[in-house]
Amino acid sequence: MTDLQQETGQPSEHTAPVEAWDSIAALYDEHVAPGESELATAGLRLAGLQAGDTFLDVAAGTGGLSLPAARIGAKVLATDWSPKMIEHFNARASAEALDAEARVMDCHALDIPDNSYDVTGSQFGVMLVPDQAQALREMVRVTKPGGRVLLIAYGDPSEFEALHVFISAVQAVVPEFEGPAEDEPMLEFQVADPDVLRQRLIDAGLRDVTIDTTNQERVAVRTGQQLWDWTLGGNPIPSMLVADLTDRQREDIIQVLDGMIRERSGGNGAAVLTAPLNIGVGTK
Ligand SMILES: C[S@@+](CC[C@H](N)C(=O)[O-])C[C@H]1O[C@@H](n2cnc3c(N)ncnc32)[C@H](O)[C@@H]1O
């Protein structure tokens, strides 16, 4: 449980406990992480990762960022607080015989000495944690002087197509469904404004900070079931939001999604749903 959850006494709708991440680890590994390889590689390139560098991945999940880093030839340590995510990471890394280790660790208190890594990164991980300032300071602390810190985060939520398609499909079946509460913005979007991300990286102790907004997340789906699995596998919050739906309602939503995807793809091939990204890089 995080400090925020301890303060409030129970998990907020806007943060998910480690057990919730454990419970989606298999879906994440199958439906989400494999599609991230291209954007992860773009981020690693912006951070200047080279073969032979040491690379620390923070809130690594099943390896969306650290498997591409290991494929570049970096020596990787992947960390995540979810033991199940780490299990899936280990299975992927050993299947490819990659130079990559993994350890269970909370990003707010990394069990790693100061000045250890050439590049430290986090993709869609430190983006969503409750004490992001502390997690960023930790990323900076463990990076070598002159090394780089990389943060890949979602941009403007109003342009997050998969989220809007999913919410409209649920509302087509359950008109009273409101989606995420609007009075408390989702932590996932706390650095959606590139200027906020820039300032947080500077406040964490980085210099020469750049924010790239030219890359997008691209989710290619052919069926409603695929978009359902991507949405519920990517983050525990959608599951919490649809927890009270009946099986019949879920089937109907998937059918609505099928129709929306057919319409977007013109009936053949995959529909591609995009989301804007902020890729921040700074030097220690
Ligand atoms: C959306 S996933 C991103 C995973 C991966 N970085 C990727 O790009 O596919 C978010 C990850 O953050 C992890 N996470 C959330 N809170 C964390 C914390 N306090 N410490 C470490 N990991 C955390 C979750 O377990 C999950 O694996």
Measured in residues, the chain has a length of 284
Q: What is the pTM of this model?
A: 0.94
State how far the Cα of 65 lies from the Cα of 280, in Å rounded to an integer. 14
Question: Helices then strands (H, E): number in the chain?
Answer: 11, 8
Q: Which domain holds residue 220?
A: 3-283
**Cβ atoms of 73 and 51 closer than 8 Å:** yes
Would you state the pLDDT for residue 117? 98
Per-residue pLDDT of the chain (284 residues; tens, 9 = 90+): 334 334 433 344 467 899 999 999 999 999 999 999 999 999 999 999 999 999 999 999 999 999 999 999 999 999 999 999 999 999 999 999 998 999 999 999 999 999 999 999 999 999 999 999 999 999 999 999 999 999 999 999 999 999 999 999 999 999 999 877 777 778 999 999 999 999 999 999 999 999 999 999 999 999 999 999 999 999 998 888 899 999 999 999 999 999 999 999 987 789 999 999 999 999 99
The Cβ of residue 225 has, within 10 Å, a number of other Cβ atoms equal to 16
Please report which helix (H) or strand (E) contains residue 217, including its range: strand 216-221
C-alpha–C-alpha distance, residues 107 and 81, integer Å:
7
What is the Rg, in whole angstroms, of the alpha carbon atoms belonging to the chain? Answer: 19
Per the CB < 8 A criterion, the answer to whether 60 and 125 are in contact is yes
Phi-psi map region of 185: left, alpha, beta (phi>0 left; psi -120 to 50 alpha): beta
Cα(185) to ligand 1 centroid in Å equals 19
CATH code for the domain of 96:
3.40.50.150
- CA trace torsion 5, 102, 71, 35 (10° rounding): -30
Centre of ligand 1 from the C-alpha of residue 174, in Å: 30
pLDDT for 7: 40
Ligand 1 centroid from CA 61, angstroms: 5
The per-residue pLDDT for 135 is 98
Q: Which of 12, 80, 137, 154 to mutate to test the pocket of ligand 1 (most atoms within 8 A of CB)?
A: 80
pLDDT of residue 14: 65
- Specify the ligand 1 atom closest to the Cα of 65: 8
Number of domains in the chain: 1
Q: Which two tokens stand for residue 29?
A: 């590994």
